[in-house]
Amino acid sequence: MKKYVIFTHVIRGTEIGGSLIYTRNKVNDVKDRGHVPYVYSRMGDRDDVIVYPELLPFRDHLIYELAYAPSLFSRQRVRRILDRFLTEIDYQVGDDVIIESHDITEALWAELLAQETSGQNFVYLINEYTADTRLKSRERDFIGWKLSHRQLAVLSPVTYDYLLPGHRVPDYQRYLLKAPDSNVVADTSQPTPVDDLPLADYHVASIGRLEKPYVAEMLTAVIEFCERYKKKQVHLTLIGDTADETVKNRLIDRCAAVPNLELLITGYLLPIPRRFFRQVDVFISSAGSTLVSHHEGIPTLVMSPESQALGLMGWTTDQILFGKPSPVGITDWLDRILVGGYCHTHRPLFKISKPDFARQFDEHERFVQKMMKGHYFPARTFNADPRWKTELNWLGVRLLGPRRYGHMRENIVQHVRAAETQA
């Protein structure tokens, strides 16, 4: 029997990002191709809501240990977790098992499961890596090994430069696959917070998680635009949310200080009603979210993960993640589009076709079929951290458990981010 197992970050909670939408889409696709899908996640609370019905069967597949390297745990505990996988996917000798893993620690567990089942571990790094990404040398060794065995793919060719700095990856080895995640718009009659936006001279909107770095830069540009045109009323709609109340409150406070700027944070909307787009003059988003508004016919400014404006989708760029930064800043782009009528006086340079999900998933299937089989990385003993950090993590996991220790680490990260933002 064909079985497709996905190891991903999270499938529950209201923080809906591209990876969650992609995972839902992938489950539907592999099911259509004759595989039995299974999904395991490592983040969230067991009582958190699962938004997508397709992911409800995997509610109990929450394993906090996936956030840590297997080497942090005793052999007995690793064995118990592997036996749990084998039982829950009902593994039988002769099954065709493919595991898809979305980050390095998940990939280590996936490697162990692949070896147990004589299957394949397809490492698909779908995070938005930037020049600030700092991988440990052993993590780079793992990526290099998977790459040399044609078992790893990413979203953008630039990602390889960020993951493996100083190591030139040949073009033929830069395996790229798209992650279909832009199917979030629908004609719906259900009432939503964006049905009747207040009157304004200009309506600006964005789709995405509020903690993404570009959001703060976008807001700075919108505020600068408001200061240029003090007699014009601007309404900003943010389709998204964050669990970090500090981030949200800072956005609210900054907007409240601008007399001619009104802010609406909708929270996550699924689906986004198609009628909403007719009320918006321009979108500013990043990654797959840019395609959502562009294909609804709304001018869309593209932001990179490093908070740089890449340009106007279709008119000056066809990139959604990385590319040459636009010589025009966000504020000036808003001026050109909203005041100068740029989209009416200039012709688009690029034709951005609507994503063909079936074709993109065909490419995934072909990639997996061409992966080197029967080769497994020694994941059981892999440890990327220095000894002091390994011992700290070992102690934390054993005293608090992987879930509580993970929450504690996440709280520390949020406090550090808040302090950096205030600084």
What is the model's pTM?
A: 0.81
- At 24 the pLDDT is 94
Calculate ∠ Cα 253-301-245, nearest 5°: 25
Residue 70 included in any domain: yes
Residue 418 included in any domain: no
Q: Tell me, yes or no, whether 244 and 377 share the same domain.
A: no
Contact 303, 310 (CB under 8 A): yes
Structural domain that includes position 370: 2-182+360-384
Tell me how far CA of residue 261 lies from CA of 106, 198, 222, 331, in angstroms: 43, 12, 9, 14
Separation of first and last alpha carbons in the chain: 56
Q: Tell me, yes or no, whether 170 and 200 share the same domain.
A: no
359-364: list long-range contacts, CB under 8 Å, 24+ apart.
Answer: 360/177, 360/178, 360/180, 361/26, 361/29, 361/33, 361/180, 363/177, 363/178, 364/26, 364/29, 364/177
Q: Tell me, yes or no, whether 157 and 205 share the same domain.
A: no
- At 389 the pLDDT is 65
Residue 173 included in any domain: yes
- At 50 the pLDDT is 87
3-state secondary structure 331-358: HHHHHHHHHCCHHHHCCCCCCCCCCCHH
Q: Tell me, yes or no, whether 190 and 172 share the same domain.
A: no
Last residue of a domain, one of 316, 345, 374: 345
Residue 392 included in any domain: no
**Which tokens hold the place of 409?**
């680490």
Sign of the dihedral defined by the CA atoms of residues 228, 232, 233, 239, in that order? negative
> Which candidate, 41, 35, 44, places its Cα nearest to that of 58?
41
Q: Tell me, yes or no, whether 167 and 133 share the same domain.
A: yes
Q: Tell me, yes or no, whether 45 and 171 share the same domain.
A: yes
- For 356, residues 6+ apart whose C-beta sits below 8 A from its C-beta are none
- The helix (H) or strand (E) run that includes residue 206 is strand 202-207
Task: Per-residue pLDDT tens, the chain, 423 aa: give them.
Answer: 999 999 999 898 766 778 899 999 999 999 999 999 999 999 888 778 888 899 999 999 999 999 889 988 889 999 999 999 999 999 999 999 999 999 999 999 999 999 999 999 999 999 877 666 777 788 888 999 999 999 999 988 888 888 888 778 888 888 999 998 888 899 888 888 898 889 999 999 999 889 888 999 999 999 999 999 999 999 999 998 888 889 999 999 999 999 999 999 998 888 899 999 999 999 999 988 899 999 999 999 999 887 889 999 999 998 887 778 899 999 999 999 999 999 999 999 888 888 899 999 999 999 999 999 999 999 988 776 665 566 676 567 666 777 677 666 666 555 545 555 555
SS3 366: helix
**Which tokens hold the place of 420?**
């950096």
Residue 395 included in any domain: no
Residue 377 included in any domain: yes
Q: Tell me, yes or no, whether 24 and 49 share the same domain.
A: yes
Q: Tell me, yes or no, whether 222 and 313 share the same domain.
A: yes
Residue 20 included in any domain: yes
Q: Tell me, yes or no, whether 104 and 171 share the same domain.
A: yes
- At 377 the pLDDT is 94
SS3 303: strand
The CATH number of whichever domain residue 134 belongs to comes to: 3.40.50
- At 394 the pLDDT is 58
Contact 103, 127 (CB under 8 A): yes
Q: Tell me, yes or no, whether 226 and 119 share the same domain.
A: no
The number of domains in the chain is 2
Residue 354 included in any domain: no
**Which tokens hold the place of 319?**
């990139």
Q: Tell me, yes or no, whether 229 and 326 share the same domain.
A: yes
Last residue of a domain, one of 345, 369, 397: 345
Q: Tell me, yes or no, whether 59 and 177 share the same domain.
A: yes
Contact 98, 6 (CB under 8 A): no
- At 213 the pLDDT is 87
